[in-house]
Structure 1
Amino acid sequence: MKGRGQQHDLTLSQQLLFLKANPAVGGAGTVRANRLTWQVPIQPTALARSYLATVTYQPGQTPDVQVDDPDLEILADGRPLPHVYRDPLRLCLHLPGTGEWTARKRIDQTVIPWTYLWLYYFEDWLWSDDWKGEGQHPGDEPEPIRNRALRRAVARS
């Protein structure tokens, strides 16, 4: 039992309710077989192309985001995609183990805005060939962590 003032993990039904109730988040989704699926159309800026992304989330895991349309690899025209995970191709939206994402946080207030931001930087990268979204890329050597609390959190993950 949680003590007074401590938060509980959000259930899949709560996450779905928050996604449906948030006027800034479009799309639709379901909860089936202990899995939340939310499909959302995203246009990161007024001049950017439109994307269709799918968020999947199961308790005990972090949410995954895949871009269904258009195909990011075709848009990249043979260049290796920055800041993604492979098999299957998913967006890298946060650094695991740092507390940026926990099951107590709302997907509509974290993962969806992060997806908009990732696609914004992706659109810029297509033109400039320079990823300005920062962050640690999967497979890269981590930079030395100067913040003691962050260093401990990463070491535990």
Structure 2
Amino acid sequence: MKRRNLTISQQFLALRTSPLCVGAGKLHRERLVWCFDARPSSFGRSYGARLELAQSGPPKVYVISPDLHNLAEGRRLPHVYSDDPPRLCLYLPGAFEWNRSHRLDLTVVPWAALWLFYFEEWLWSGDWKGGGMHPGDFEASRIARREQAT
């Protein structure tokens, strides 16, 4: 049985009532914006994040503070899109890990906290252990598999 897509209003209500992402936001006609603090562990720092969801398109999570580039001290940030402020790469588009029937507070928000956990570990070790694949990497791996098969 296919689950029904949630409206932006339903997503906003779920965010407002969720203990997982206490914050504040605005519901606009075509999109929602939700600002919240995320702490990836009891020993980690607190990050200010902004979640945006438009009527169409994927959810986007940006880290507003502290500045991730400053924390990285000149190193290239791992697993982010090139937006400023950095937009987190939380799932592979087209791989059906997230769709509009999934609540943001139960998927994207915890994924952002997990990303921050791996980010803090990366700051210390220099090795990204969060896994994942970027859309360009996905296409490259498909091409490589196709070439191996021939």
TM-score, with normalisation over the residues of structure 1? Answer: 0.84
Instruction: Tell me the SS of whatever aligns to 2:33.
Output: strand
Structure-2 residue corresponding to 1:96: 93
Q: Which runs of 4+ in 1 moved over 3 A?
A: 137-145
Kept in 2, the 8 Å contact 1:35–1:57? The answer is yes
Matched residue type, 2:90: L
Instruction: Tell me the SS of whatever aligns to 1:122.
Output: helix
Kept in 2, the 8 Å contact 1:83–1:138? The answer is no
Structure-1 residue corresponding to 2:26: 30
Instruction: Tell me the SS of whatever aligns to 1:74.
Output: helix
Structure-1 residue corresponding to 2:49: 53
| CA distance, structure 2, for counterparts of residue 137 and residue 103 of structure 1 | 21
Q: Which runs of 5+ in 1 are unaligned?
A: 146-157
Matched residue type, 2:27: V
Matched residue type, 1:76: A
1:120 to 111, 117, 121: 117
* RMSD, aligned α-carbons: 1.6
Question: Is 1:86 the equivalent of 2:93?
Answer: no
1:131 to 128, 133, 145: 128
Aligned length: 141
Q: Which moved more, 1:121-130 or 1:32-41?
A: 32-41
Q: Which moved more, 1:132-141 or 1:80-89?
A: 132-141
| CA distance, structure 2, for counterparts of residue 113 and residue 67 of structure 1 | 14
Kept in 2, the 8 Å contact 1:10–1:106? The answer is yes
Structure-1 residue corresponding to 2:141: 143
Matched residue type, 1:122: F
Q: Deviations over 1:83-119 (max 9, x none)?
A: 0001342000000001111111100011000000000
Q: Which moved more, 1:28-37 or 1:106-115?
A: 28-37
More helix by share: 2
Q: Deviations over 1:22-60 (max 9, x none)?
A: 122211111113111000101111111110000000122
Matched residue type, 2:44: A
1:42 to 12, 16, 38: 38
TM-score, with normalisation over the residues of structure 2? Answer: 0.88
Matched residue type, 1:143: S
Q: Which runs of 5+ in 2 are unaligned?
A: 144-150
Kept in 1, the 8 Å contact 2:21–2:38? The answer is no
Q: Deviations over 1:1-27 (max 9, x none)?
A: xxxx43221111100111111122211
